[in-house]
Amino acid sequence: MKIRSITYFCNPGWPLEAKVIRRAAEFLAGARSAYQAAGYEVQTTRLATVPFPLLLGRNGVEALPRLAQELDGAIQQAGIAYASLGPALPEEARGYPLIPEALAASENIFLSGMMADAQRGLSLSAVRACAGIVQRVSTLSPDGFANLRFAALANVAAGAPFFPAAYHDRDEPAFALATEAADLAVNAFSAHATLNDGRRALIAEIEKHAQVMVRVARSLPCSFRGIDFSLAPFPEQARSLGAALERMGAPRLGLHGSLFAAALLTECLERAAFPRTGFSGLMMPVLEDATLAQRAAEGTLTVRDLLLYSAVCGTGLDTVPLPGDTTAEQLAALLLDLCSLALRLDKPLTARLMPIPGAKAGEATHFDFPFFANSKVMALEAATHAPLPWRETVFMRSR
């Protein structure tokens, strides 16, 4: 198991306050050393701000591209790997169309767009705006890679340390941990003959690691928001969430029985005792998991399957390769389904969709990125138009 990220949450002000960035860098360097001393590899340190419309103010949102460019330079100088500027918000709609330009102006800045939550309801105009962002961002590079840095959010609260969903909602700084822990599930269900024994072993491992991480957190000079103990994978079989699910009895991910395995594995996380934040669930990023990528390439795992599994476990639709000619209307229809699950089930879900320019369903992907396993472009079953009253806000009650 590794720590994927130590994420520091703050309000850096605008214009950017150098002392805030400096304090963030100093804290993150100390935190990295503390967790390394406790035996953990820390892959990245990151910074997440309050949502950029609040940071820039109602009359300054047009400065988003400049903010992204300046923050990118500041974190690189400070030794921080990535920063998230949080979501565009439905009440400040001018923020959404600025996101592609901000991503183009930076290399290490992540952004998101809020589509729905219990307080605001489901904003159809925000859904459509997020779909348009995905489509525009896909053209920033020939491989569509820039959409790695954008996510559409549904019912996602502040304090999640995983990017692109991370954002802050307080005046005082805080930090949280994101784990890369799919290997714990692979090991637990490989070493035990029964599901109940594997479940007990996994829960014990989660709690053992959580106790160490919390003990270190309490020694650090910053408010601790908790651990997002999501079973995030890495693109090799030993760290594949898909491999863990198949070792639980699903013959091939995507076939019947997979939903049961996903639900059971999620229950392990729910039973484990630790201070939680963010998703604390299964992460099923197609291109970041060797087994998921393989099953998608075979056609066994579909976008509909991923959406179905989100109902019982995951964080939504993540690094999903789609045809380059996918329309904004088709993307919006998929995002509507995601929002509906998030609101009705009262859970956080995100969509990080990656249309690949010029690619058609069934064609191979060719990403040169160490955190990706190549797969094939997945078909999206959605009409090219959606006759909806896009300016409305719809409120859905959770069950």
Model pTM?
0.96
The per-residue pLDDT for range 283-307, each reduced to its tens digit, is 899 999 999 999 999 999 999 999 9
Q: How far is CA 377 from CA 20, 78, 151, 246, 362, in A?
A: 42, 38, 19, 22, 5
Question: What's the pLDDT at 60?
Answer: 95
CA torsion sign for 229, 230, 233, 234 is negative
Strands 42-49 and 223-228: unpaired
Q: Write out pLDDT tens, residues 44-55.
A: 999 999 999 999
Q: What does the pLDDT look like over 183-234, one tens digit per residue? A: 999 999 999 989 999 999 999 999 999 999 999 999 999 999 999 999 888 8
Q: 177: phi > 0 → left, psi -120 to 50 → alpha, else beta; which?
A: beta
CB 274 within 8 A of CB 202: no
Phi/psi at 219 (5° precision): -90, -5
Low-confidence ranges of the chain (pLDDT < 50): none
What pLDDT is recorded for position 15?
96
Distances (CA, A) of 370 to 79, 150, 235, 287, 374: 21, 19, 8, 11, 10
Q: Are 258 and 310 in contact (CB under 8 A)?
A: no
Residue 304: C-alpha distances to residues 276, 292, 309 (Å): 28, 14, 9
| Residue 14 neighbours by CB under 8 Å, 6+ apart | 55, 56, 57, 60, 63, 67
324 touches 145 (CB < 8 A): no
